Amino acid sequence: MHVIYLAGGIASGKSTIARTMRECGAVLVDLDELSREALAPGSRILPDICREFGDDVVRPDGTVNRRLLAARAFASLERSVTLEEIELPLIDELLRARIAALRDEEAAEREKDPAAPERVVVVEVPLLDRMRGSFDMADEIVSVVCPLNARRVRAIQRGMDRGDFERRREQQPTEAYLRAHSSHVFNNIRTADVMADEVRAWWREREASGWAPVPRRARGAQA
């Protein structure tokens, strides 16, 4: 199995590229979904969430008011870091379990059919720098970058408050960090159809190589 971390900042086009990869045959794992799982009713981290962000962020039915939690967590860098310190260990645990399950499924498929194709798993990673402790699971890291103004306009068109966008963007890894840690970078400055064609061409090239190993660039570097 070949695992790709697909990283990119808010409104950079990461999810669009991930969908194109899924059309090419990838299995997608979205860390945002794992984050929702980490905050599901009964999660062991909910008492810590309540202690740090207020009892009212958890509704009477046990679900988390994610909008209220986000408003409080993204109010400052310190608060964001506090939320990450609570969430990330469980998200890492859930990701490892998901990857392990997919490996088991692939092994079962190959027992039945030794010619079964290798699975390619694409993990959407919003905050690559926070995932340094999980880099060992990635066979390669691919990033998408996009001009800031285009990202800002796209986020606002989706209904995000400009101030919220700026606060979140400031807390995400820089383009320099993404480039330093990636074996390939998609520059999302083209129309959606042209970008999709570029992704498909990259996919065909990597597939033709048998998903050959790529150099692990700057995995321990800071940027």
CATH of the domain spanning 2-208, picked from 3.40.50.720, 3.40.30.10, 3.40.50.2000, 3.40.50.300: 3.40.50.300
Backbone phi, then psi, for 142, in 5-degree steps?
A: -120, 140
The neighbouring-strand residues paired with 5 are 123, 141
Note the pLDDT tens digit of each residue in 140-166.
999 999 999 999 998 999 898 898 888
Predicted model pTM: 0.89
* For helices 46-53 and 66-73, angle between their N-to-C axes, nearest 10 degrees: 50
pLDDT, tens digit (0-9, with 9 covering 90-100), for 12-68: 999 999 999 999 999 999 888 999 999 999 999 999 999 999 999 999 999 999 999
Contacts of 127 (CB under 8 A, 6+ apart): 84, 172, 173
* Position with higher pLDDT, 169 vs 103: 103
Tell me how far apart the alpha carbons of residues 86 and 93 are, in angstroms, rounded to a whole number: 12
DSSP 8-state assignment for residue 58: B
Q: In the predicted model, is pLDDT for residue 176 greater than 90?
A: yes
